Chains A and B, each alone.
Chain A
Amino acid sequence: MIRFDRATKRYPNGREALGAASFEISAGEMVFLTGRSGAGKSTILKLIALLERPTRGLVLVNGHNTSSLPARKIPAFRREIGVVFQDHRLLPERSLFDNVALPLYAAHAPLREIDKRARAALDQVGLLDRAASLPMELSVGEQQRVGIARAVVSKPKLIIADEPTGNLDPGLSLEIMDLFRRFNDVGATVVVATHDLDIVKASGLREIVVANGRVRDPGAEPELPHMEAHR
């Protein structure tokens, strides 16, 4: 599903955020990206969503080489990926329904399907009865759930989330992680970048540790203790 092969990202200002990172995430897996602030977690997610291309090395996502994917194919590529942000990025003037339906509009889905799927996604995050509300009428946790509904509405094979629980109290964080696990249970590959090591430990899921732009891939270092939990 995802393969980084000595992928390096150097930003235009010369900062090397990721150095020759190699790891693989297979289809149907749920993985955490952990590491200090500035370690390069967001950079990895940006490379996956093709918000950035690697400076050197290879990033393969859903069978596409992101370095050589032509610009006109990027929209279709992104439609196969659901993205969740820490700051949820909801459109403040649009109803929850319209926010969640945005990827379907962008994919030119038929109106009936848009209606059906957007409602189903809102229902999955427990907010169907608020479909007509505006984002600012919700609590932070609820807003984050709407962001997740938008990410999953077109049933993407891959869901990536950048610190989705960053602004939430521990109880809410668990709730959000539960949501991700539910989508993972029905087949989606999920990659979550997080600071919240408690959640990671409690989940027993695989963790890819990023430090200073270097990736310690437990898959390549089978002696690491938490491998048991993963396999």
Chain B
Amino acid sequence: MTGWLTRHLQAMLFAAGRLTRAPLATGFTLLVIAIALTLPAAFGLVIASVRTATGDFASAVDVTVYFKQGVTLEKAQQLAQSARERSGVDRVTLVSADEALKSFREQSGFGAALDVLGDNPLPHALDIRPNSEATTPQQMEALRRYLAAWPEVELVQVDSEWVIRLNAILELLRRLVTGTAALLGVGVLAVIGNTIRLEIYNRRAEIEVTKLVGGSNAFVRRPFLYTGLFYGLLGAALAAVLLLIALHLLGAPVGRLAASYGSSFRLLSPGWREVGSLVGVGAALGMVGAWMATARHLARIEPRA
């Protein structure tokens, strides 16, 4: 165990030493990695911000079902229960005709006019809230049809179709960002792999001598893996810093702009969890890139006499 630890500590120190020996080159490589990681992270953050800002609406996709006049309260309750049992339905509220009238009286100020009518003109109604995962246009249409098929139903009204569209757009953007992130991830792999490849060829003599005195492939490989890991970690950390700087610079103006439109929209700051996963992704890319480079190039270097 302690042997294992010293082995890895040594390899880490070697790797760190190599990075600091050429600070300018290391810096440029880190910057490239950081930019490649910052872009998808920033887009992801913007989308998350929009989602949060519209989140209240998004889950407020309400469906209102108006029953025909003369449908009894018992029947309405029965139907409310069936609606509740349908999957994708979060909450069903029965608004009886009496309650509807009462709230109308309180809110509209036309109470006196209603008294003249004598009979309550309002039907029983159901307020149905689908759960937020079930708001794709297809799902909403299926729900509407299901409800409209009941003979007791006069009208099914789906509110806020724009929210559905917004959700669809956000989903599309999310996929675009995922695709871009995957491409840039491959780019980071290539940058790290290529940097390690150059490093391997610069240290050819050292690798040969090390193998000659009995260094195993694993021993020779280890510092390079740590080099890759450090590139990934530091690149991701730099990306997080760039992201925070960008947020710092843009946050206030975006807030002011949104406020001028009467919106409380603001850019979200990444939390520890987001920064953590960014750094984790960077570290993984670094290791994998270094692994691929060493697997390809290290075995080819054999000592000569």
Chain A residues with a Cβ under 8 A of chain B: 42, 45-46, 49, 51, 72, 75-79, 83, 85, 89, 91, 93, 102-103, 105-108, 110-111, 150, 154, 162
Chain A residues with Cβ below 8 Å from B6 are: 110-111
- Report how far A157 CA is from B10 CA in the complex, Å: 27
List residues of chain B with CB within 8 A of the CB of A106.
Answer: 210, 213-216, 219
B305 within 8 A of A: yes
The docked-state distance in angstroms from the alpha carbon of A79 to that of B217 is 14
Given contacts A102-B210, A106-B214, A150-B213, contact A83 B305 (CB under 8 A): yes
User: What does the 1/0 interface line of B157-188 toward A look like (CB < 8 Å)?
Assistant: 00000000000000000000000000000000
Residues of B within 8 A of A78 (CB): 211-214
Whether B304 pairs with A51 at a CB distance below 8 angstroms is: yes
Q: Decide: A107 near B214, CB < 8 A? Known: A51-B303, A51-B305, A89-B209.
A: yes
Given contacts A89-B209, A91-B205, A110-B6, contact A75 B215 (CB under 8 A): yes
User: Which residues of B sit under 8 angstroms from A93, Cβ to Cβ?
Assistant: 21
Give the shortest distance, in Å, between B193 (CB) and chain A (any CB). 24
Interface of A is mostly: helix
- Chain A residues whose CB sits within 8 angstroms of the CB of B210 once the complex forms: 102, 106
One digit per residue, 1 when the CB lies within 8 angstroms of any chain A CB and 0 when it does not, for chain B 214-238 equals 1111010000000000000000000
A-B contact pairs, 10 of them (CB 8 A): A51-B303, A75-B215, A89-B208, A102-B209, A102-B213, A103-B214, A106-B213, A106-B216, A106-B219, A110-B3
Q: Contact between B7 and A108 (Cβ–Cβ < 8 Å)?
A: yes
Separation in Å of the A85 CB from the closest CB of chain B?
Answer: 7
* Interface check B141, CB cutoff 8 A: no
> Which B positions have Cβ atoms within 8 angstroms of A?
3, 6-7, 10, 21, 205-206, 208-217, 219, 302-305
Which residues of A lie under 8 Å from residue B219 when comparing CB positions? 75, 105-106, 108
Contact residues of B: prevailing secondary structure: helix
- Which among A42, A49, A75, A79 has the greatest number of chain B C-beta atoms within 10 A? A75
CA distance A111 to B9 in the complex (A): 11
Partner of B212, one of A83, A107, A110: A83
Give CA–CA (A45, B205) in the complex, Å.
19
How close is A128's CB to chain B, nearest CB, in angstroms? 20
Tally of contacts, chain A with chain B, CB under 8 A: 63
- Closest residue of B by beta carbon distance from A73: B216
Given A46-B305, A75-B214, A106-B216, answer yes or no on A91-B7 (Cβ-Cβ < 8 Å).
no
In the A-B complex, the 3 residue pairs with the closest CB atoms? A79-B214, A106-B215, A103-B213
* Interface residue from A89, A107, A110, A150 paired with B205 (Cβ < 8 Å): A89
Q: How far is the CA of A79 from the CA of B210 in the complex (A)?
A: 11
B305 near A85: Cβ-Cβ < 8 Å: yes
Pairwise interchain contact A42-B211, C-beta atoms closer than 8 A: no
Closest to B208 in A: A89
Question: Which residues of chain A are within 8 angstroms of B21 by Cβ–Cβ distance?
Answer: 93
| Inter-chain contact A51/B213, CB cutoff 8 Å | no
Q: What is the CA–CA distance of A108 and B209 in the complex, to the nearest angstrom? A: 16
B213 touches A83 (CB 8 A): yes
How many Å lie between the Cα of A103 and that of B3 in the bound state? 16
Q: In whole angstroms, how far apart are the Cα atoms of A42 and B3 in the complex?
A: 36
A162–B305 contact, CB under 8 A?
yes
Contacts of B304 in A (CB 8 A): 46, 51
Which of A72, A89, A150, A154 gathers most chain B CB within 10 Å? Answer: A89
Nearest CB on A from B214, distance (A): 3
Question: Which chain B residues lie closer than 8 Å to A89 at the CB level?
Answer: 205, 208-209, 212
By the criterion CB–CB under 8 Å, are B216 and A75 in contact? yes
Residues of A close to B303: CB separation below 8 A: 51
Residue in chain A with minimal CB distance to B17: A93
Known: A45-B305, A51-B302, A51-B303. Is A108-B3 also a contact (CB below 8 A)? Answer: yes
Chain B residues lying within 8 Å of A42, measured Cβ to Cβ, are 305
CB-nearest residue of chain B relative to A75?
B216
Contact of B206 among A91, A103, A154 (CB under 8 A): A91
Find the B residue at minimum CB distance from A88: B209
Q: Which residue of the partner chain B has the closest CB to A94? A: B206
The answer for the CA separation of A51 and B208 in the assembled complex, in Å, is 11
Q: How far is the CA of A81 from the CA of B303 in the complex (A)?
A: 14
